[in-house]
Structure 1
Amino acid sequence: MPRTSDARDKALATAEDLFRRQGFAATGLAQIIEESGSPKGSFYFHFKGGKDQLAAEIAERFAARGVAAIAAAAAATPGDATGFIRLLCAGFAQEMRASDFTLGCALQNIATERAPGDPDLTALVHAGLEAWVEAAASHFAACGVNASRSVAQAFIAALEGARTLSRASRSDAVYSAIAESFAASLRTLQDGP
């Protein structure tokens, strides 16, 4: 029976964690190989494109998980835009607390360090963030929120900026501020009965 290996998945998970905690540029392939426990030969077999290939795959996977999280929050809050916002903000706050305020966003970190100089990675990051905006906009529209795409762009931008503020302040208070601010704004943006 052929032997299976989880070296590829471990390398991706390790690289994503390191990219989120310390950034793309500060993360070396040797560190990823060592911390993931991947055999060097196996690592280079799976990632012939090196760190750029890792970044591309991480961007796609991270974006897909974000869309899934937005969809789950939308499913849990049908017709309730304010509840949707509060649920996502609470989830982000919990993730920051659980990581001891060390986790940044994989897409944001890659964009900060590689865009626009790397057109391929820039396109992947842009597509991922656009997918988040579209997923949120769809739920806002279903909740009767006017200008749902603009609201979704502002909300995703606020969540992304909040990671930086949360890491710097070692506090999750910014997520409560976002939730309350958007809740107040939504009262004026929703269609009446």
Structure 2
Amino acid sequence: MAKRGETRARLLSTAATLFRTQGYHATGLNQVVEEGRVPKGSLYFHFPGGKEQLAVESVALAAGEVRASLRAVDDLDGVLELFAEHLVESDFRRGCPVATVALDAAGESERIRAACASAYASWSEVLVEFLVRQGVAVDRAPGLATTVLAAVEGALLLTKTRRDVAPLRQVAADLRVLIEGAM
């Protein structure tokens, strides 16, 4: 029998994967329980707020994983290659773990919207740190970080819909030029 923390972590990880690939509305709690291989009662024990709580916490989990990846790779090309690898490995089903939920449910739930906004803000902070290390002026870095984040999100969407990593690679090349020009 799984320990309490393991069951909760399995539910959260399963939900994060399903929300990322299917979206909020297409993911049912029964599917989370089945794919997580846990008793149904454990879902509401660990997540008394139901699907909304599960989405909020899974967005935070996924955001933390992406933030860690951003910090671990010290160049933008490396980050975009990680995204490309994830998309190819998932047969172009796994895009951005936050965008999928944000597009599907952030307009309906303030808690989900806030979780998505917090995720993007945390990524932006890492991008600002990266840009400043690259030589971008501190006052210019936040705006440029927003541009980078928006370009990457758009590239992920194009890559997923085209089933081709070329948009990510093109955005990486163009962002490199943009960043070099800002230094």
How far 1:3 sits from its partner (Å)? 6.5
Which residue of 1 is the match for residue 27 of structure 2? Answer: 27
How far 1:58 sits from its partner (Å)? 0.6
1:15 touches 1:54 (CA, 8 Å); kept in 2? yes
Which residue of 2 is the match for residue 60 of structure 1? Answer: 60
1:136 touches 1:152 (CA, 8 Å); kept in 2? yes
- Counterpart CA distance in 2 for 1:8 and 1:66 is 20
How far 1:104 sits from its partner (Å)? 2.1
Which residue of 2 is the match for residue 69 of structure 1? Answer: 69
> What is the one-letter code of the residue matched to 2:116?
V
1:153-168 correspondence to structure 2 within 5 Å: 153-168=146-161
Which residue of 2 is the match for residue 121 of structure 1? Answer: 112
| SS of the residue 2:136 aligns to | coil
How far 1:106 sits from its partner (Å)? 2.3
Aligned residues: 180
| SS of the residue 1:106 aligns to | coil
| SS of the residue 1:25 aligns to | coil
How far 1:180 sits from its partner (Å)? 0.8
> What is the one-letter code of the residue matched to 2:143?
S
- Counterpart CA distance in 2 for 1:186 and 1:163 is 19
Q: For residues 3 and 189 of structure 1, do their structure 2 counterparts lie closer, same or farther at Cα, with a shift above 3 Å needed?
A: closer
Which residue of 2 is the match for residue 10 of structure 1? Answer: 10
- Aligned-pair identity in percent equals 32
1:8 touches 1:38 (CA, 8 Å); kept in 2? no
> What is the one-letter code of the residue matched to 1:186?
I
1:11 touches 1:32 (CA, 8 Å); kept in 2? yes
Q: Deviations over 1:31-83 (max 9, x none)?
A: 11111111112222111111011001111111111221111123xxxxxxxxx
- Counterpart CA distance in 2 for 1:105 and 1:175 is 12
Task: Please report the RMSD computed on the Cα atoms of aligned residues, expressed in angstroms.
Answer: 1.6
Q: For residues 120 and 3 of structure 1, do their structure 2 counterparts lie closer, same or farther at Cα, with a shift above 3 Å needed?
A: closer
How far 1:186 sits from its partner (Å)? 2.2
- Counterpart CA distance in 2 for 1:127 and 1:20 is 17
Unpaired segments ≥5 residues, structure 1: 75-83
1:1-193 correspondence to structure 2 within 5 Å: 4-5=3-4, 6-74=6-74, 84-146=75-137, 147-190=140-183
| SS of the residue 2:98 aligns to | helix
How far 1:144 sits from its partner (Å)? 0.9
1:67 touches 1:135 (CA, 8 Å); kept in 2? yes
How far 1:179 sits from its partner (Å)? 1.1
Normalised TM-score (structure 1) = 0.87
| SS of the residue 1:104 aligns to | coil
How far 1:113 sits from its partner (Å)? 1.8
Normalised TM-score (structure 2) = 0.91
Q: Deviations over 1:67-114 (max 9, x none)?
A: 21111123xxxxxxxxx1111111111111111111022211221122
How far 1:7 sits from its partner (Å)? 2.1
